[in-house]
Each structure stands twice: as C-alpha cells, then as structure tokens.
Amino acid sequence: DKTVSLRKDLSEMHEWITQAEEEYLERDFEYKTPDELQKAVEELKRAKEEALQKEVKVKLITDSVNNFIAKAPPAAHEALKKELDVLITSYQQLCSRLNGKWKTLEEVWACWRELLSYLDAENKWLNEIELKLKATENIQGGAEEISESLDSLERLMRHPEDNRNQIRELAQTLTDGGILDELINEKLEKFNTRWEELQQEAVRRQKSLEQSIQSAQETDKALRLIQESLAAIDKQLTAYTADRVDAAQVPQEAQ
C-alpha cells in the first residue's frame, strides 16, 4: 500500500531529525579544553552538512506525497499532508538550529584564538622588558650612557593598553559562557602576575637609573673641577720652572 510506504518514509525521516536534535542540540556540551572546543566545532560542521544533504530525501518524500495526494481520494489527503508539513517544518528548524549553533561555536573558537594571539603579543613585549631590565641591572658608564639606557627603557614602557584591554574583554566573553574558564583564568593569572611584577621592577629601575644619572653628573662635575684645578696648578708650576724659581721661594701650596 502506497500510504504505508509514504508513512514509513516520513517516520524514518522524523526519527533521524529527532536523533540529530538529541545528539547535537539537546546534549549538554562542556568545553574545558581547546581540543574539546575544536572537536565540537568540527562535529557541528559535519552535522550541518549531513542535514543539508538530507534535503534531497526530504524533497523526494515531498514529491511522492504530493503525487499521491494528487491521485488519491480526498479522505487520504489530510493526514498525510499534515505529516508532511510537520516534517518540512521540523527539518527546516533543525537545519537552522544546527547552522546557528555551528556559527556560534566558530565565533567562540575564533575568540579563543584571538585571545591567544593577544597573550602571545603581550608576552613578547614582557620578554623585551625583562631583557632590558637585565641589561640595565649593573650598568656602568657616565651620565650620558646611563641616560640613554633610561630613555630606552622609558620608550619600551610607553606601551599602549589596547592589547591588555582586548585580553580582558575576550577572556570575559568566554568565561561568562563557561567556556575554557579554568584554563583562561589560569593563563590570565599568570600573565597579570608577570605583568605587575615587571611593571613594578621597571619603575624601580627607572628611579635607580635617575639616581645613577644624578650621581654620575655630580661625579663628572667634581672631576671637571679637579681637572681645572690641576690644570691651573700645572700652568703655575710650569711658569715657576721656566723662570728657574727655587721651591723654597714659592708659596707652600706650590711647593
């Protein structure tokens, strides 16, 4: 009987839709690791593509039902037409929901990758600060050389806050959704701790370099005064020597 055959096709398609809903839309997903999140994105992509491939079967069932209705007595129309309408609606809703969930998870995955990118950029900057702090740890030289090191450190510290703000916002977006929250909190705590420590050390080093510059300037000034004094004494002694003046004939300090 054609009616039995059509109802069987409708029933099988309904079962597949119900199974897909339970598997991909009603199941609770937990994303605690990046691998789990990436796997979910790939699974939903496959489910979405599989659902789209079922469109051919839905169309065949629709054509078969419509052809049967066109030839069958009116009494057989209503029930089959109703079942077909329910199937088409359910199928379209499934495709829409699968596509929506897949897009959402793709955005979440992109958000996670973007967070990693910003963290990587900021950690590279912190590495530069660390190297700069080590280079200025026991710096030797005059006021000019120390001043150049201070300027170099201060230029490095004039780093925009944009990346750090993005890290904060992206992390908040993900953890609000309960996605990779433990991993993200761990990464952020490590990053923020390192950021604070290096910032504080940089401030201390700046003050230390400023004091070193001041000390070096004072030393340079004292050396200059000594050199000027020695030059004046040398000139005076040279004059005494040229005039063959005896040591006993000159002031005590010249002797």
pLDDT at residue 184, rounded to an integer: 95
pLDDT at residue 228, rounded to an integer: 85
Token code pair at residue 49: 């593509």
- In this prediction the pTM is 0.78
Residue type at position 202 = A
pLDDT at residue 26, rounded to an integer: 83
Taking a C-beta distance cutoff of 8 angstroms, is the pair 40, 105 a contact?
A: yes
Burial readout 241-253 (b: 16 or more C-beta within 10 A, e: otherwise): eeeeeeeeeeeee
The mean pLDDT value of the chain amounts to 89
CA distance 143 to 215: 8
pLDDT tens for residues 47-78? 999 999 999 999 999 999 999 888 877 766 78
Contacts 24+ apart (CB under 8 A), 28-33: 30/178, 31/108, 31/178, 31/179, 31/180, 32/180, 32/182, 32/183, 33/180, 33/183
Q: Phi, psi (5° rounding) for residue 30?
A: -120, 125
Q: Please name which of 125, 122, 126 lies closest in space to residue 201, comparing C-alpha atoms.
A: 126
Identify the architecture of domain 2-212 in CATH. Answer: Up-down Bundle (1.20)
pLDDT tens for residues 76-103? 678 888 999 999 999 999 999 999 999 9
